[in-house]
């Protein structure tokens, strides 16, 4: 077994225009001051990383890693959630998701998709140059508007959608493989990969590609009423990344999973700061230790109530207190007995 690395922090929800959240060096100092040991870097803000440059220049990648290292931190992984979303977009969401792409690709869905695919390929190469072996992303969604089958879904549309989704991701997965990087899909409502069944359907369509892996985030399963502990038992061999994010689901006589179009604070299911929700993190950290998870425990802050900086400070300590330093021996080794001769005697075989 191996002790989980951490605590790390996903920077996406903290980046802004004010110091210390507006530069890589400053945000590293902030993260270190709170007790974090690693940072997960989103790749859509050039103030923190120029993705194309990191893919094409080992020297530039070394400079980025140097800034992080000088502040006593490690890069846990890169994130391409927003670009991954744009790999596959149902036309109903074209306008809403256009803001994820540079201005020159907006109102041009095909060009936007090609840009997103190239971004993922850059991210795989950049990860290699940075010495990383895992990369976070979303799958995007062609079928999400039809997640509830009313009106009735046209016959064969799910199969067609997954076939097309696989066709777009296979070239990216192959580039990841060439660079020794696991591509970790965050299983998430709004994505075609939103639970175990849809992930398995995707695997079937990408020929069980060894690099099609998972980012485990239990908060999304709480909101779906899915057994997030059994999920680890099913998919632990594919889980290569871990977002530590809390959530709660409190259905009432007026609303449930769908939330009644309410804002986050007023939904039955909502994300919370670590320790304020319903996720059983003691059991999660135990299972991941049992299954020899080799990655980072990375806090993602998305609380509907608590201030982000308070959530970050509490989150670093929360993760540190939940990481299990794994044992290197059995607890009853002191009472160990026997050798081959004894074993044969005990079994009545000599």
Q: Kindly state the tokens that stand for 100.
A: 């994820």
CATH code assigned at 92: 3.20.20.150
Q: What is the pTM of this model?
A: 0.96
Local mean pLDDT, 10-residue blocks, the chain (350 residues): 96 97 98 98 98 98 98 98 98 97 97 98 98 98 96 97 98 98 98 98 98 98 98 98 98 97 97 98 98 98 97 98 91 75 86
In the chain, what are the helix, strand and coil shares in percent, each to the nearest 5?
45, 15, 40
Phi/psi of residue 215, nearest 5 degrees: -100, 115
Residue 328: predicted pLDDT: 83
217: left (phi over 0), alpha (psi -120 to 50) or beta: beta
Cα–Cα dist 308/319, whole Å: 16
Residue 341: predicted pLDDT: 84
Q: How far is CA 46 from CA 15, 99, 193, in A?
A: 12, 16, 28
Q: How far is CA 4 from CA 7, 194, 284, 297, in A?
A: 9, 25, 12, 7
Chain centroid, CA 252 distance in Å: 30
Q: Which residue, among 224, 240, 221, has the nearest Cα to 183 in the 3D structure?
A: 240
Rg from Cα positions in the chain: 22
Residue 335: predicted pLDDT: 67
Q: Which residue, among 40, 49, 83, 60, has the nearest Cα to 129 in the 3D structure?
A: 60
For residue 219, the enclosing domain spans: 5-346
> Count of domains in the chain?
1
Q: Kindly state the tokens that stand for 326.
A: 């794994």
Are 90 and 48 in contact, with CB atoms under 8 Å apart? no
Cα–Cα dist 219/222, whole Å: 5
């Amino acid at each position: 077994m191996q002790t989980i690395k951490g605590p790390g922090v996903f920077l996406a929800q903290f980046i802004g225009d004010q110091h210390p959240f507006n530069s890589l060096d400053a945000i590293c100092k902030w993260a270190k001051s709170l007790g974090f040991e690693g940072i997960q870097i989103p790749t859509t803000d050039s103030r923190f990383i120029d993705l194309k440059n990191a893919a094409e220049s080992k020297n530039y990648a070394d400079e980025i890693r140097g800034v992080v290292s000088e502040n006593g931190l490690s890069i846990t992984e890169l994130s391409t959630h927003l670009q991954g979303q744009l790999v596959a977009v149902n036309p109903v969401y074209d306008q809403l998701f256009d803001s994820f792409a540079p201005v020159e690709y907006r109102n041009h869905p095909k060009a936007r998709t090609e840009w997103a695919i190239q971004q993922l390929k850059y991210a795989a190469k950049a990860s290699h140059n940075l010495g990383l072996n895992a990369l976070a992303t979303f799958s995007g969604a062609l079928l999400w508007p039809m997640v509830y089958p009313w009106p009735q879904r046209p016959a064969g549309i799910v199969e067609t959608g997954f076939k097309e989704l696989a066709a777009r991701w296979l070239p990216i997965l192959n580039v990841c493989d060439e660079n020794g990087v696991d591509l970790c899909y965050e299983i998430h409502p709004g994505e075609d990969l939103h639970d175990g069944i849809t992930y398995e359907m995707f695997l079937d369509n990408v020929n069980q590609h060894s690099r099609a892996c998972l980012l485990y985030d239990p908060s999304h399963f709480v909101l779906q009423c899915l057994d997030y502990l059994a999920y680890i038992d099913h998919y632990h061999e594919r889980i290569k990344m871990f977002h530590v994010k809390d959530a709660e689901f409190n259905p009432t006589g007026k609303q449930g999973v769908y939330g009644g179009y309410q804002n986050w604070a007023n939904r039955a299911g909502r994300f919370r700061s670590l320790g304020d929700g319903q996720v059983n993190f003691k059991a999660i950290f135990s299972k991941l230790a049992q299954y020899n998870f080799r990655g980072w425990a990375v806090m993602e802050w998305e609380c509907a109530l608590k201030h982000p900086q308070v959530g970050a400070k509490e989150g670093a300590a929360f993760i540190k207190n939940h990481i299990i330093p794994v044992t290197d021996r059995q607890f009853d080794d002191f009472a160990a007995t026997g050798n081959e001769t004894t074993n044969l005697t005990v079994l009545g075989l000599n």
